[in-house]
């Protein structure tokens, strides 16, 4: 048989959890046609001797909704062997959107996903209004990766209700119109819808993200779209306290499961130093919901967040920080200096939700002022002691002294890496949470797949290679109903991550670049050991070099 692509001499890990085998893989017309000892002619031969040939990785949680307008390789995910991404998570997105509401949609992304407004203003193409038009625009541009689109509920409510979507529940007529638009999007190929109940998710002008105001009657109606079509899933950023599910949050999961009849994935399970048993307790408390298809997501990395007081996303779960959002720096400094604000901040930390004020794990990462460089790499607790000051005051004073340009590193969750294996080996969880495309200058977990393979398979041997590959390929693909991807077998799409197990990996912290539109900053995570990223039978990256191929597709939920 003649092939377009023949991958020779590799160790094939097929994504099912089966033991690795030594085999060749033949591809024609973007589809795997044979696996075994092959000898036919091929237009292109890849020698995978001493390399692992795995299905392309499927990232279940990204925020590349804006970035796909200016980056057709969707970096850095594509560098790490990811070949399929799911967009539109956490209820925030860019479609549908009326021309007069574009600024409102952009500010939602600024506040929830920490993408600078100037970057969005220069980079988003706005060659759509409806959700089907948004998907069509993505297909026209061309992409290195396959893209599955989830309907973020906020722009749908904006589209129908305008600014009142951030103030109240929908009327019956408005609810019916949002429902119609969701059905239209699903019929165009969307994979379901997403929302959030997280208190830190504030949108335009610091008001609650519009999807947070949806009533249970609305959510039932939207869920019925998936029920009636018999496909799709729901994603929700659920936990107001990380790794804990309260009664209201449990009721939301029950509503979605019952009314849609479809799987639900929720955020998030992360190990907490202040409550080490939170994850395991929550897995027990939600076992019945998990058995019905409510799958929590976790990450395989320490969750390190860069904190910037001028864009205080991670602090916005505290009411005292909300007035700081979207203000000029001079006004922000005025607020942060005030004794009233500091007293309220101190009081809020007695009942932490996300940020816990553990000053010993907050370090100074970057400063624009030479006289503050002596603090680089040092933690706030020891700097405070040296200055004879309170740690909270020291944190704010340092930021103010640097004109709020100072960047801080903070280990939010998974600080004790010895407990990560119990998260990532548990069949009740889904590994994801890359947040690719979001929090561009403060976090980059898009390298989670290579970190899993390098740290937890090769270095610490916490799980087998075949189990790890299954967790980041067929498991997320199956959850979203992408039945033609995530496995290596005849008839499957020819998406591959070909890597060297001896060197594959990525670091805990990334590097800052100025490669966003207008020279905006973003934190990126580079990959090691990924020799080829192959999408629909075309080499996207070869030894880390972009081939120029753009074979990615906009996936359709009915045919995926």
Domains of the chain (ranges, CATH numbers) = 57-301+418-462 (3.20.20.140), 307-413 (no CATH)
Interval 73-91 mean pLDDT: 98
**With 90 as the cut, is the pLDDT of residue 354 above it?**
no
Q: Give CA–CA dist 155/128, Å, rounded.
A: 13
Residue 161 — pLDDT band, cuts 50, 70, 90? very high
Q: What phi and psi values does residue 330 have, to the nearest 5 degrees?
A: -60, -40
pLDDT at residue 316, as a whole number: 84
In this predicted structure, what is the pLDDT of residue 510?
82
List the Cα angle 183/188/190 in 5-degree steps: 75
- Token digits for 508? 């805990």
Give the pLDDT score at 89.
Answer: 97
Position 199 pLDDT exceeds 90: no
Strand (E) or helix (H) holding 449:
helix 448-451
Closest CA to 446 of 518, 380, 527: 527
Q: What is the DSSP string of 249-294?
A: HHHHHHHHHHHH-S-EEEEEE---SSSTTHHHHHHHHTHHHHHTTE
pLDDT tens per residue across span 205-228 = 889 999 999 999 999 999 999 999
Residue 306 scores a pLDDT above 90: no
Give 103-152 pLDDT, tens digit per residue.
999 999 998 888 989 999 999 999 999 999 999 999 999 999 999 999 99
Q: Are 245 and 285 spatial neighbours (Cβ–Cβ below 8 Å)?
A: yes
Tens digits of per-residue pLDDT, 83-93? 999 999 999 99
CA distance 251 to 248: 5
Q: Which residue has the tokens 């041997």?
A: 461
Q: Which of 290-294, 354-358, 495-499, 530-534 has the lowest mean pLDDT?
A: 354-358
pLDDT in tens, 429-455: 999 999 999 988 778 899 999 999 999
Average pLDDT of the residues in 43-63: 98
Task: For residue 415, name the pLDDT band (cuts at 50, 70, 90).
Answer: confident
Question: Is residue 295 scored above 90 in pLDDT?
Answer: yes
Mean pLDDT for the chain overall? 95
Listed in sequence order, the residues at least 6 apart from 107 whose beta carbon sits closer than 8 Å to its beta carbon are 117, 203, 204, 205, 326
Give the global pTM. Answer: 0.91
Q: What is the structure's pLDDT at 76? A: 97
Q: Is the pLDDT of residue 246 over 90?
A: yes
């Amino acid at each position: 048989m003649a092939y377009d692509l023949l991958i020779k001499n590799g160790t094939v890990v097929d994504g099912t959890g089966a033991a690795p085998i030594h085999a060749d893989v033949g591809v024609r017309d973007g589809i795997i046609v044979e696996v075994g000892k092959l000898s036919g002619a091929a237009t292109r031969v890849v020698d995978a001797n001493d390399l692992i040939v795995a299905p392309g990785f499927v990232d279940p949680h990204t925020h590349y909704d804006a970035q796909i307008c200016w980056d057709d390789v969707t970096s850095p995910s594509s560098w790490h062997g990811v070949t399929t991404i799911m967009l539109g998570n956490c209820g925030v997105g860019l479609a549908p959107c009326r021309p007069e509401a574009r600024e409102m949609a952009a500010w939602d992304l600024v506040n929830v996903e920490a993408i600078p407004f100037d970057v969005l203003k220069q980079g988003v193409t706005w060659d759509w209004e409806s959700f089907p038009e948004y998907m069509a625009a993505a297909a026209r541009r061309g992409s290195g990766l396959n893209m599955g689109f989830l309907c973020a509920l906020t722009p749908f409510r904006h589209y129908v209700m305008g600014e009142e979507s951030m103030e109240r529940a929908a009327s019956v007529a408005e609810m019916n119109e949002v429902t119609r638009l969701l059905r239209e999007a699903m019929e165009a190929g969307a994979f379901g819808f997403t929302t959030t109940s997280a208190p830190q998710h504030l949108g335009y002008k610091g008001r609650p993200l519009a999807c947070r105001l949806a009533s249970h009657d609305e959510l039932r109606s939207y869920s019925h779209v998936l029920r009636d079509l018999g496909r799709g899933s729901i994603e929700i950023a659920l936990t107001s306290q990380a790794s804990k599910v309260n009664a209201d949050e449990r009721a939301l999961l029950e509503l979605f499961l019952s009314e849609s009849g479809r799987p639900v994935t929720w955020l998030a399970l992360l190990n907490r130093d202040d409550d080490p048993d939170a994850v395991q307790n929550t897995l027990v408390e939600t076992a019945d919901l998990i058995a019905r298809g409510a799958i929590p997501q976790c990450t395989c990395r320490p969750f390190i967040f860069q904190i910037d007081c001028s864009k205080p996303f991670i602090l916005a779960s505290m009411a005292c920080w909300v007035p700081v959002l979207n203000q000029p720096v001079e006004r922000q400094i005025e607020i942060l200096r005030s004794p009233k604000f500091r007293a309220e901040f101190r009081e809020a930390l007695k009942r932490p939700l996300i940020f816990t004020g553990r000053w010993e794990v907050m370090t100074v990462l970057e400063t624009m002022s030479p006289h503050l460089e002596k603090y680089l790499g040092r933690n706030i607790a020891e700097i405070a002691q040296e200055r004879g000051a309170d740690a909270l005051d020291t944190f704010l004073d340092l930021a103010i002294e640097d004109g709020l340009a100072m960047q801080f590193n903070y280990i939010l969750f998974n600080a004790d890496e010895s407990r990560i294996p119990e998260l990532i080996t548990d069949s009740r969880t889904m590994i994801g949470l890359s947040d690719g495309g979001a929090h561009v200058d403060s976090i980059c977990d898009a390298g989670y797949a290579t970190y899993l393979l390098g740290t937890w398979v090769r270095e610490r041997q916490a799980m087998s290679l075949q189990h790890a590959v299954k967790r980041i390929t067929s498991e997320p693909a199956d959850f979203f109903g992408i039945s033609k991807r995530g496995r290596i077998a005849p008839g499957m799409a020819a998406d591959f991550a070909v890597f060297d197990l001896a060197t594959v990996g990525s670091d805990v912290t990334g590097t800052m670049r100025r490669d966003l539109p207008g020279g905006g900053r973003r934190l990126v995570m580079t990959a090691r050991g990924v020799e080829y990223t192959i999408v629909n039978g075309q080499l996207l990256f070869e030894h880390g070099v972009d081939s120029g191929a753009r074979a990615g597709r906009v996936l359709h939920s009915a045919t995926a």
